[in-house]
Amino acid sequence: MIIGGLQKFSLIDYPHKISAIIFTTGCNFRCPYCHNPELVNPKLYPERITEDEVFNFLKNRKEKLDAVVITGGEPTLHKDLYQFISKLKSMG
């Protein structure tokens, strides 16, 4: 999965939970009101975070986080989204 960003702490994105936010790149829409336009076209936003970096961070924060939110861009464009979520869930 192409990950364009990681917000390590949020109290807003998952109500009543401490969460981390994973931002995927790429989107098939061009909404004028998009709140993450830099993630829409991955070619214009070359900075990436590896899956290993994300999982290492989450492993170290497992006892401090209640949830992980995946947003974008458009996460459902990534063919390996299901496997990524399965790996997240297996972490507990």
pLDDT in tens, 18-71: 999 999 999 999 899 988 888 888 787 778 999 999 999 999 999 999 999 999
When comparing pLDDT for 5 and 41, which is higher?
5
Measured between alpha carbons, how far apart are the two ends of the chain, in Å? 20
Number of structural domains found in the chain: 1
Strands 67-71 and 3-10: unpaired
Structural domain that includes position 36:
3-90
